[in-house]
Structures are given as C-alpha cells and as structure tokens.
Chain A
Amino acid sequence: MIFEVFRQERRGQAFAHAGSIEAPDLEFAEAWAREQYGRRQESEALWVVPRDAILEVHDFPDELNKTYHRVDGYSLKAKLKEARERAGTAAS
C-alpha cells in the first residue's frame, strides 16, 4: 500500500506534502514515516494518509474567459498606485 505523508514543520503551520511511503499497513507506515520524516527533528507533526483515501481533482474549465473570477482580472498594482496618490502617500 502507498501512504502519502504530509509534514508540519512548525506548530500552527499548514501541512505540506513531504513524500510517500510503501508499507503493508498503517502501523508500519507510522513507524517508517517517523523515521523518514521525523528523525532529524524536522517535523512538528505528520499526517500519514492511504493514497486511496485522497480524492484528486483535475480540470477546472473557464471556457468563457471570465477574468473577473481570477486574480489576474484585477490589476492590484495600478489600483494601489491610484489610491496612494489620492491619499498623498505614494511609495517613493
């Protein structure tokens, strides 16, 4: 079985994917994950998840090019510049 391992580097941080482990069951997966991803004190915590439990989602169509749904639909830089000029606090 393949287990995906997610690692939290410091308390409060988001878990990020660290790698995967092949193990016969969760017990072996825990032991091996500890040694591979925790033995150097590099992790605060781990999530060990059977790969089958992960739903991978693809394909996000935007056929009509709705730029207003996207961050790049707005030029924040230009808006910020205008706002700063109005307020007289333009960045030097």
Chain B
Amino acid sequence: MSERAQRLLELADDELILGWRDSEWTGIAPTLEEDVAFSSIAQNEIGHARALYELAAGDLDTTADALAFDRSPEEYRSAPLVELRRLDWAHTIARHWLYECADELRLAELKSSDDAEVAGLATKMDREEVYHRMHAQMWADRLCGEERFESAVDELWPYALGVLSPELRTALAERVGREQVDAVERGSHSDELRELHEEMTMVRRSIPGATW
C-alpha cells in the first residue's frame, strides 16, 4: 500500500470511528441544543471519512464503503484515542478538544501538501473543522479547572499524542499546555473497537454485496 493510501486511511479511520463514537450521544446529550450540535458534528466527521475513503479507494481500486466496512478490526489504522468508549461528558469533551487540537495541526500540514488532491480535500475539511474547533474550545473553556474534565484530559493526553506523527507532537503539547509523555501509538486495537466494528458493520454484513 502506498504511503499516501496509508495516511489517508489513518485519517479516514480516525474520522469514521470518532464520528461513530460521538453519535452515541444522539438523544442523550446534556441539553437538546447540544444534542443537535454534537450529532451534527458526528455527521460531519463521517462525511470527512467518506471523502477520504473515496480518495483512498481510487488508489486501492476498491470503494469507500468496502474500506469503511469490509475490513477486519485489525486492519483499521485508527488511533486508540478515537476508539475509547467513555460515555461521560467530561471524557467526551476532553477527547473532542484534544482531537480537534491535534487535527488542526495535521490538517495544516496536509493543506500545504504537494499532492493537490490531498491539499484540496484538507482545505475543504478544515472549513468545517473551524466550527468543530470553536465548539470544542468553548466547552473546554467552560469546563477548564473542573476536576472531572482535567482528570479526563490527563487520562487521554497520551492517547492524543498518538493521533499525530512524532514531528507534530511538540506543537500539540504547546497548544494544549501539557508536557510530552509516551504516546499511545497506532497499531494495536482495543476490544472496544471490536465491539464498535461489530455494531457498525452489522447491517452491511446482513446482506453481503447488496447496494444500499
């Protein structure tokens, strides 16, 4: 697999899995307004995943749906940060904020890529991510100093570092005001991903080869 396809899949898998995790709040977010907003953000992430899978699918001679749903959990390249299932709001916002901070750095790098397709898609994605960042930051500002939020950020920080390539980690540490520690790297998956995969691919597996 080309390096480009690998990077696209990392990014796509992160967005798909995080979108899925975020959508677990639909119907039960803390307020009605936040329910709508967070569900919409989840849909955006899945939209980004689709666009990235489509780009990768062209390189790999397959389809976006096949990449999203027909691989085994072990083949996903997502970062452990997005796989965790922590259905409490402090962890959810901590992850959202850390992920958006990391994603901003990653997208900035992709936007200046020599690869016009990648740079173009990164630019489009970033226009939506601006509002995700705004949303994440306003929540982080509001919860900042709260014990539950701070301990969630501490817990997730090594995972957040694992979202980025090592060259970008110093900038992330500066951005979120924390010391660099050993990252939880991509490459291994938790049982939580296997459970999510089971649920996520259930309908597609029910009638193999069907067009939806």
Contact = CB atoms under 8 A, between A and B. Distances in A.
A35 B204 CA distance: 29
Q: How large is the interface on B (under 10, 10 to 19, 20 to 34, 35 or more residues)?
A: 10 to 19
Contacts of A39: 40
Interface residues of A, number: 12
B138 interface: yes
B119 interface: no
Given A22-B31, A24-B142, A31 B36 contact: no
Main SS of chain A's interface residues?
Answer: helix
A3 to B, nearest CB: 10
A24 B33 CA distance: 11
Contact of B134 (A22, A24, A31): A31
A23 B34 CA distance: 9
B142 A36 contact: no
Contact of A34 (B31, B34, B131): B131
B37 A32 contact: yes
B85 interface: no
Interface of B: 31-34, 36-37, 40-41, 131, 134-135, 138, 142
